[in-house]
Structure 1
Amino acid sequence: MSLLNVGARALLANQAALQTAGHNIANVSTPGYSRQTVVLQTVQGQFTGGGYIGKGVDVQTIQRNHSELLTRQSTAASAVDAGDTVRMDRLRQLQEVFSGGTSGIGASINDMMNALSDVVSAPTDLTARSVALTRMDETAARMRDASQRLDEIGYTVAEQLKGSMLTVNSLAKNIAGVNEQIARAKGNGQPANDLLDQRDQLIRELNQHIQTSQVAADDGSVSVFVAGSQPLVLGSKAAELSIGDPADFGAGSGQKVLYFQQPGSATKVELNESMLGGGQVAGLLRFQNNDLAEGRNLLGRMVIAISESMNTQNTLGLTLDGKPGQNLFAPISLGNVVRSSFNTTPDTTTMALAVTNPAALQASSYTISFATADTGSITRQSDGKVFSFDNSTPSPPNTTTMAAVFSAQGLSVVPTAPPNAPVAGDQFMINPLQGAAAKLKALQYSPVDLAAANGINASMDTANAGRLQLVALKAVGDPGSFDPPAFASPPAPAGGVTLTFAAGPPMTYNATGMTKSGVSVAQAGDYVPGQAITFPQGWSVTLQGAPASGDKVTLGNPRAPQAGDWYQRDAGNASALMGLRDVPMFDGSTLSDGFASAMAQIGTRTQSAQFAAELSSAIATNLERDRTAVSGVNLDEEAARLIQYQQAYQASAKMIQIAQNIFDTLIQGLGR
């Protein structure tokens, strides 16, 4: 009987080994499956006078080939890889909006500015004027199109985040359900290998969306935590995650945050974005709140700078019919001012925004925090730089008032007056550039309405004996500073200013006369050939050559009868418009190079994200390879084991057959 028992045990053990090998082969392509191995143990032998006689073999357990360390490392690395990859993909879409080429925004800006050169060469050419205005309209259209594409990218990101939330919550519930099954199965005394594989695979899939950490419990279940310490899965219970607006500044901030909600609780906890780690949700939130916001700010700053500078310059000139120039583009109202929901002041407490210097604008949003009613800090969101302000002493001489701080940023930010002024603890978020590109629209379509002529004229006195020559003339202030008539002599009537020169040395000038409404002008100084003489009333004149004493130059209204049709043939203001392309506008870059600067900033972000994605992908691939080296199924190895177990099974069956023959022989012998 002992020999029969040994054979039976061996037969059953090898049958289990064959079945386990077959199970491995069947699941060779199953995601997350870990190779299983039969662990055999010797049955305690029976003592006899001749020693211990073996009693065969038993199956101790079915072992799951699994490394907890490698699995966790691989899962974490794949989460980082997923976050870096999805951010890189979105940045590539953003980079396409800021692409170069003839169809890009940069080309349209350069075409617009270059078209003004034909107006400068032929100010009466209606075709040249029409082309210039058409180029402006094309630039506005491309800006609006770029803004729409950014909105589309933002919409797809929002939808992808919603989809990820549905997946995350579903996976969390599934993990909780498997936890419950594993806890029940542990009472049998043997590990539920397939359930453990299923749970690990669910956790891997969950980490594709949001990085987690896991802590094993004594009952076999695993608790899953997000953002460091929030229990997404605790035993057989699962919490929920959702995407929403920040609690402080809400939808007006343009940002999104991740919320955590315990099962059975109505309270949502806002999770810190910096604590999320990897996963697609973290990558998409970084793109939404940082990369896309910067893209919108860069585009908005470009639009504001172009419209403000060109509108201002065009209103300083005269149209072809002698009228003051109007805005070339529709005035753009700056973005919103968002009150914190925790402010104690009334809803009427807010800020008024305006542009003071387009060249100083920063591609950023700002957060204002009031420590007291007069002091606080301003945080520039683009780089995190903090500016302290103190309004207790008026400016000047105080250069740290809120007005002074924002003035250096090219903005005017004026809080509401008492009794609705901000108080201690109030916070405001300012998004001055958000959505500006969608509002850019050309206003002038008639070639006559392009203000190509200067709003000021200069007349060289016919009695001049020196070598004075007019090099440049520009109105930089009120274009209506002079009332006609002008240029009458002598004496100069109200509305004309005469510069009288002395040969020197040193060479000097003395300016006297009257502006509009009889305002007197009295200014004197040294004359340097080629150096502009600037008047605070809003004019700038540049002369070349040495004067003779008594030489005169008269500034006046170009629409005066004495000037004739000069304003139709003049292109001084068109030249000033064209000159804006070389004015530093964007962090030192000129208007013509501003788009190249923006393109470089987005390109740098994209390249950095690509490097990060490639690195994290390589790390994740290596760790997954190490994990599968332990847990993966090798078909060649399983085939060899099948042969081994088959032969052992056949030998076990032969042993039983022999034992049966011996037993039959014994019975037959006893029967005689």
Structure 2
Amino acid sequence: MASGILGTASSALLSFQRALATTGHNIANVNTDGFSRQRVDLSTQTPNSSGAGFIGNGVQIDGVQRSYDDFLERELRSSIGARDSSRTYAEFASVVDNLLADPNSGLSPALQNFFDSIQQVADDPTAIPARELMLSEAESLVASFRHIDGELDGLRERIGIEFRNQVAEINDLADSIASLNEDIALAFGSGTGQPPNDLLDQRDQLVLKLSEKIGVTTLEQSDHTLNVYIGNGQPLVVGQKAGSLSVQRNSLDSQQLDIGFSFGGGGSSLITDKISGGSLGGIIEFRKQVLDPSQNRLGQIAVSLAETFNAQHRIGQDLDGNPGSSLPDFFAVTDPNDQVFSNLTNAGSSSLDVAFDTATIDQLTADEFRLSYNGGTWTLENLTSGATDTITPGTTFTGHGLNIDLSVTGTAVDGDSYLLRPTRQGGNGIAANITNPREIAAAAPVRIDGQTSGTGIPTNTGSGEFSSGTVTGSLPALPITLTYDDTTIPPFFSGGGYSFDYDPTSQSGDTFTAADTGISGLEFTISGTPANTDQFVISANSGGGGDNRNALALAGLQTDRTMNNASASFQDSYGQMIADVGVKTRRAQTLATTQSNLANQAQARHDAVSAVNLDEEAAELLRWQQAYQAAAQVVTISDTIFQTLLQATGR
């Protein structure tokens, strides 16, 4: 360590030169992403002791430190991850929202047009053009279902592409962070003990970029390496080693892509449900909260419409007098067995058969189910509500609009499971079956007439009347002749093995169902006062081409509450679907705006500490320049003193 005035001046020159270089380094990196401005730490050198006191020996450089706040860095990572997650969610949700609510390509106008065309058939059931229009609108309705479902499938494919792209980027970032960890550990271990500021900045910037993709937490180790964790604690980077994400097929549903994680050559495990934050977390949340429910609900509407419409069409009669039950179903519907997925780990040989249950189709939901076998019992778990049903092996379970037949051959083993997504492909699987307009079953297959003579003259003398009758299911053998008897209290109708009371003083205008009369599959209204022995004949509706009763029943399905446990119509259910997606989209957009503002604020707080300010650096540059010039002047003076001394000693 040099001493004296020259040594003091030399230490100042060297220190101020380093300070000028550091300031220049800051200015050079003013636009470098992630760069933290640096400052030279100076301290006085150890003074020399003399009889006159301690004489200073100048200045020394203790180190170069970056302007860094760990709390602000963590806050910035968290806010960036939340921003990109909500922004990605909102972007994808907006696509679904616009698709479902589109006044031209959405389902609502197609449903309205279809049921309007049925009403036109009801207005003139013999008109072939009206029937052809109904078939055309049915095709358009099917096309709307398939279009929306196809667009949702397109989003699912886009998610798969995003999964692969994001995973590749995350893995690259993890490898780079691990590599920088190695460089940083070596730099700290080089003996100087000084921080490699630029390397630390580069690592922080990589972690920040990683937080844009996926939510992360970090922990610095004693050797100054940084461990990075994702999900609920999966170690993506530990020291100088990096884990790896992968895109894998779900073990229950091979059509669904999930995110796998492995570290150090170990086996891969699925962590999709554990990922949050960043654009990848936003995509996963969108698929779970919007895409899957929307596609399931679209399928639910398609299946419910097809099954309900088919059931009513079967009990009608076409233009040629053929019963609807002998005709093709009006709509084809997807086979729910196509959406039953056997777990890849199943060890048993059991199989099952799933079908939609027409009688309870109003109970069909958009939910998914897991069917698991343990302890000799099958358990059906609703994956949305968590509710469970216990099913005895070898039986058929009926519920949720489904028939699940477990009497199929094979043996189950504890741990076997199946995933049921009964409505997922409903929108894509619906089709219009009937192409012949004469096969539209617009008429009811029965009629109820007062008794007539052989020449067609009415023989009843009372004022009693039967409505034409509404078919609700399978009918008994026809004709059935009912004779009125008012000689008893209460008076009654009987005939064909049936008997039921009818008191005109209290029951006129009442509707009688199969439960009242015992006549299966038929209900009718009776009004007026029949005379004793008046007769009414329930017969096949031969020559009933102009009958529109079943067409009216089909048109009535538009507003009938045939979905969600008889609480909603098709239009209601679709409207609820649009509203649900709309609410989630608006909420996501609001959250995205909020998170963006929070991220900007966090960035501003971070930059206030770490970012380079050119005005400040210019002032620093001038300060160090002046100090350097002053130190140089001290050197000049020192030289002058030295030269004077030499001259005085004659040397």
Normalised to the residue count of structure 1, the TM-score between the two structures is 0.88
Which residue type is aligned with residue 225 of structure 2? S
Structure 1 residue 171 displacement after superposition: 0.6
Per-residue CA shift, 1:372-427, capped at 9, x if unaligned?
Answer: 32x3432212x2322231538x9xxxxxx972xx42x1111111345x14354322
CA distance in 2 between counterparts of 1:578 and 1:504 reads: 42
CA distance in 2 between counterparts of 1:214 and 1:524 reads: 80
SS of equivalent to 1:642: helix
Q: In structure 2, what is the equivalent of residue 196 of structure 1?
A: 200
Q: In structure 2, what is the equivalent of residue 491 of structure 1?
A: none
Q: 2:553 aligns with which of 552, 576, 579?
A: 576
Per-residue CA shift, 1:134-163, capped at 9, x if unaligned?
Answer: 111100011111111111000000000000
Structure 1 residue 304 displacement after superposition: 0.5
Q: In structure 2, what is the equivalent of residue 297 of structure 1?
A: 296
Which residue type is aligned with residue 214 of structure 1? T
CA distance in 2 between counterparts of 1:552 and 1:656 reads: 134
Q: In structure 1, what is the equivalent of residue 563 of structure 2?
A: 586
Q: 1:96 aligns with which of 90, 95, 98?
A: 98
CA contact (8 A) 1:501 1:507 kept: no
Q: In structure 2, what is the equivalent of residue 208 of structure 1?
A: 212
Q: In structure 2, what is the equivalent of residue 518 of structure 1?
A: none
Q: In structure 1, what is the equivalent of residue 339 of structure 2?
A: 336
SS of equivalent to 2:448: strand
CA distance in 2 between counterparts of 1:10 and 1:627 reads: 33
CA distance in 2 between counterparts of 1:38 and 1:617 reads: 35
CA contact (8 A) 1:589 1:597 kept: no
Q: In structure 2, what is the equivalent of residue 447 of structure 1?
A: 437
CA distance in 2 between counterparts of 1:468 and 1:114 reads: 35
Closer, same or farther: CA 471–619 of 1 in aligned 2, 3 Å:
farther
Q: 1:410 aligns with which of 398, 401, 424?
A: 401
Which residue type is aligned with residue 285 of structure 1? I
Structure 1 residue 615 displacement after superposition: 3.7
CA contact (8 A) 2:339 2:425 kept: no
SS of equivalent to 1:478: coil
Q: In structure 2, what is the equivalent of residue 516 of structure 1?
A: none
Which residue type is aligned with residue 598 of structure 2? I
Q: 1:656 aligns with which of 614, 635, 642?
A: 635
Structure 1 residue 386 and structure 2 residue 377: aligned?
Answer: no
Structure 1 residue 525 and structure 2 residue 524: aligned?
Answer: no
Q: In structure 2, what is the equivalent of residue 268 of structure 1?
A: 268
Q: In structure 2, what is the equivalent of residue 467 of structure 1?
A: 463
Q: In structure 1, what is the equivalent of residue 365 of structure 2?
A: 362
SS of equivalent to 1:585: coil
Q: In structure 1, what is the equivalent of residue 44 of structure 2?
A: 42
Per-residue CA shift, 1:105-143, capped at 9, x if unaligned?
Answer: 111011111221121111122222222221111000111
Closer, same or farther: CA 502–84 of 1 in aligned 2, 3 Å:
farther
Equivalences for residues 540-551 of structure 1 within 5 A: 540-551=523-534
Further displaced range: 529-538 or 101-110? 529-538
Closer, same or farther: CA 67–571 of 1 in aligned 2, 3 Å:
same
SS of equivalent to 1:388: strand
Structure 1 residue 362 displacement after superposition: 0.3
CA contact (8 A) 2:446 2:468 kept: no
CA distance in 1 between counterparts of 2:313 and 2:625 reads: 93
Q: 2:74 aligns with which of 45, 53, 72?
A: 72
Structure 1 residue 507 displacement after superposition: 6.6
Which residue type is aligned with residue 264 of structure 1? G
Q: 1:500 aligns with which of 474, 479, 483?
A: 483
CA contact (8 A) 1:322 1:568 kept: yes
CA contact (8 A) 1:100 1:107 kept: no
Q: In structure 2, what is the equivalent of residue 286 of structure 1?
A: 285
Q: In structure 1, what is the equivalent of residue 615 of structure 2?
A: 636
Structure 1 residue 230 and structure 2 residue 234: aligned?
Answer: yes
Closer, same or farther: CA 53–534 of 1 in aligned 2, 3 Å:
same
CA contact (8 A) 2:396 2:403 kept: no
CA contact (8 A) 2:173 2:206 kept: yes
SS of equivalent to 1:80: helix
SS of equivalent to 2:636: helix
Structure 1 residue 78 displacement after superposition: 1.7
Structure 1 residue 319 displacement after superposition: 1.4
Q: In structure 1, what is the equivalent of residue 455 of structure 2?
A: none
CA contact (8 A) 1:34 1:64 kept: yes
CA distance in 2 between counterparts of 1:621 and 1:95 reads: 28
CA distance in 1 between counterparts of 2:468 and 2:623 reads: 99
SS of equivalent to 1:260: strand
SS of equivalent to 1:586: coil
Which residue type is aligned with residue 300 of structure 2? R
Q: In structure 2, what is the equivalent of residue 517 of structure 1?
A: none
Normalised to the residue count of structure 2, the TM-score between the two structures is 0.91
In the comparison of the two structures, how many residue pairs are matched?
A: 627
CA contact (8 A) 1:297 1:433 kept: yes
Q: 2:131 aligns with which of 129, 132, 139?
A: 129
Q: In structure 2, what is the equivalent of residue 9 of structure 1?
A: 11
SS of equivalent to 1:463: coil
Structure 1 residue 538 displacement after superposition: 1.2
Closer, same or farther: CA 229–594 of 1 in aligned 2, 3 Å:
closer
SS of equivalent to 2:303: helix
Further displaced range: 639-648 or 104-113? 639-648
Structure 1 residue 366 displacement after superposition: 0.6
Per-residue CA shift, 1:247-296, capped at 9, x if unaligned?
Answer: 3x141xx543321112333x21222x443231222222233344321111
CA distance in 1 between counterparts of 2:257 and 2:494 reads: 60
CA distance in 2 between counterparts of 1:197 and 1:508 reads: 98
